[in-house]
Amino acid sequence: MSEEKPPTGTLLTDHLAHWAALTPHTRAFTFVDFPEADSLGRHRSLTWRALDLRVRAVAEALARTVPPGERAALVLPQGLDYVAAFLGCLYAGVTAVPLFTPDLPGHEGRLAAVLADCEPACLLTDTATADRVLAFTAEHALPETALLTVDGLTAPALAEVEPPRRPAPDDIAYLQYTSGSTRTPAGVMITHANVVANARQGMAGLEAEDPATTAVGWLPLFHDMGLVLSVAAPVVGGLGSVLMDPVNFLLAPERWLRLLGSAPRVVTAAPNFAYDYCVARIDADTVEELDLSGVSVMLNGSEPVRPATLDRFRDHFAPAGLAPEALCPGYGLAEATVFVAADPPSALATGVDCDPDALTEGRVVPAADPARATRLMLCGAPSGQRVRIVAPDSGAVLGEDAVGEIQVCGPNVGAGYWKKAALSAEVFGARAPGEADDGPGWLRTGDLGALHGGALLVTGRLKDLIIVDGRNHYPQDIEETVQQAVEAIRPDRLAAVALPGPDGAADRLVVIAEHRRRQ
């Protein structure tokens, strides 16, 4: 029998094989669907052994269709088939490209752009989606590509199937495409070693290494945080994972919170907006029905963390038994696989009341007047990687409490952008003035922040910085101030931007806001 501790290898599939041999009948992944509006959910599960067989079946089919190192795009709905398809690609030495179905509203252009960019040798989908995928590729004049429906693969006799070529740790495991909201999507090349390292970093940083931990998530699996939290970390740590579709969260956010009460030790994650959404949509009577006492971690990341959101969520769901320290602000990005730092659940999340005038000058100074303070949340110390702050103009390394660009270096930093050598060198190969070039370069995140007591403070995006009269202003701070001051504005439906003044005059600050609906 395999050793009781997780393997130390650098392939996710090594970990999968380990758990399949050690705990074959233990429930590994569960997908919860909601076929009826008032349903509590229909649960479908795979044990570690059943998952391993499904993964090997996908790998065997891929081996007959796609040469190792080629790309296979995952164009199928959220669920257990998605998990098997992703891990099957890795087992076969095929580069996975986590994507989504063509009917995801508002994302048709992005899907077409990514498929054209990654040039897949195969499309992985399911029977119910296959016709839509074929119609989509024809409509967008994409090259004809082999198509495999993973839900039709059954291979009970393939228990001993070996991959055609064992991938090396530095081989590309998958391409994680960036959101593409402001530019053409770029595929970050994540190696097999990257994803295993980041899963371990995340579990350590969130103190989630207890084997009794269960990951519960609604985040899409084509998103970096959803993929690592709900697939990679559970496979590495032998943890249970419970999945649901993002649409079912949006329709009824209490479904997510009910699932959080289904296990004694739960880790979950969501962007800041989701926590405000839960407060707005879930009434006090429903809160009384929830049990959040077993929630260890509710990671808040992927977008700026608003202190007021944490306060509202903590207070609103306290009657459900939510531990205040479970709310953990974090920071990460796709170029670093996902996880960089998070405030651990062993203590309350900590905010820093900063002097706003000093902050506009690039310094973190405690506010003398709390009424005028800009409150920023600490995102914890980096986990298993290094973080430094540099001056955006010169690249010089800055000291504590100085605001500059956040740079990251560690085993989780991706290998660059797919087919973008020049951009890769610029983003992934940063050097400080006079720094030797005989080691790995630093990742330029494009985010602004400071180190405060060894923990990371994130202040905003470098490209979003608004400069008025020579002073730096962060749009999220302006937006928060305006929506607090003007009751007619719909919360979180506004944007602060700088527009050029007339005839070369200084930039003007403009806030665009949506009017609150009348009650």
What residue ranges do the domains of the chain occupy? 12-251, 464-519
What is the structure's pLDDT at 256? 96
User: Cβ of 304: how many Cβ atoms within 10 Å?
Assistant: 25
CA dihedral 308, 310, 316, 322 (to 10 degrees): -160
Q: Which of 25-29, 161-165, 299-303 has the lowest mean pLDDT?
A: 161-165
User: Cβ of 271: how many Cβ atoms within 10 Å?
Assistant: 18
pLDDT, the chain, mean: 86
CA distances from 238 to 211, 337, 370 (A): 7, 20, 46
Axis-axis angle for helices 272-281, 307-316 (nearest 10): 40
Distance between start and end Cα atoms, the chain:
64
Tokens 């392939």, residue located: 11
Residue 460 pLDDT greater than 60, yes or no: yes
User: Cβ of 382: how many Cβ atoms within 10 Å?
Assistant: 25
Q: How far is residue 114's CA from residue 96's CA, in Å, rounded to a whole number?
A: 13
Instruction: Phi first, then psi: give them for residue 296, nearest 5 degrees.
Output: -90, -40
Which residues are CB-contacts of 55 (< 8 A; sequence separation ≥ 6)? 13, 16, 84, 87, 88, 91
What pLDDT band is residue 423 in, cutting at 50, 70 and 90?
very high
What is the structure's pLDDT at 505? 40
In the chain, % helix, strand, coil (3-state, to 5) comes to 35, 25, 40
Q: How far is residue 54's CA from residue 129's CA, in Å, rounded to a whole number?
A: 19
Residue 2 pLDDT greater than 50, yes or no: no
What is the structure's pLDDT at 181? 42
Burial class (CB in 10 A: 0-12, 13-18, 19+), 389: buried
CATH fourth-level superfamily of 12-251: ANL, N-terminal domain (3.40.50.12780)
What pLDDT band is residue 470 in, cutting at 50, 70 and 90?
very low
What pLDDT band is residue 468 in, cutting at 50, 70 and 90?
very low
Q: What digits encode the pLDDT tens for the residues 360-373?
A: 888 998 988 888 88
Q: If one looks up domain 464-519 in CATH, what number appears?
A: 3.30.300.30
DSSP string, 449-475: EEEETTEEEEEEETTT-EEETTEEE-H
Which of residues 498 and 429 earns the better pLDDT score? 429
What pLDDT band is residue 198 in, cutting at 50, 70 and 90?
very high
Strand bridging mode 295-300 / 327-332: parallel
Helix (H) or strand (E) holding 313: helix 307-316
**C-beta of residue 214 within 8 angstroms of C-beta of residue 233:** no
Q: What average pLDDT does the segment 426-452 reach? A: 89
**C-beta of residue 390 within 8 angstroms of C-beta of residue 397:** yes
Token output for 219: 């985040």
Tokens 């202190």, residue located: 307
DSSP at 326: G
The three-class DSSP label of residue 320 is helix
Axis-axis angle for helices 130-139, 108-118 (nearest 10): 80
Helix (H) or strand (E) holding 92: helix 80-92
Classify the phi-psi angles of 470: left when phi > 0, otherwise alpha if psi is within -120 to 50, otherwise beta: left
What is the structure's pLDDT at 489? 64
Q: What digits encode the pLDDT tens for the residues 276-296?
A: 999 999 999 999 999 999 999
Q: What pTM was estimated for this model as a whole?
A: 0.88
**C-beta of residue 498 within 8 angstroms of C-beta of residue 462:** no
Q: Please, what is the Cα angle at 325 between 323 and 331, to 5 degrees?
A: 135
Sign of the Cα pseudo-torsion (207, 212, 217, 220, in order): positive
Which of residues 508 and 305 earns the better pLDDT score? 305
Residue 472 pLDDT greater than 60, yes or no: no
Sign of the Cα pseudo-torsion (396, 400, 403, 404, in order): positive
Residue 149's DSSP bridge partners are 125
Residues in the chain, total: 519
Token output for 25: 């009948």
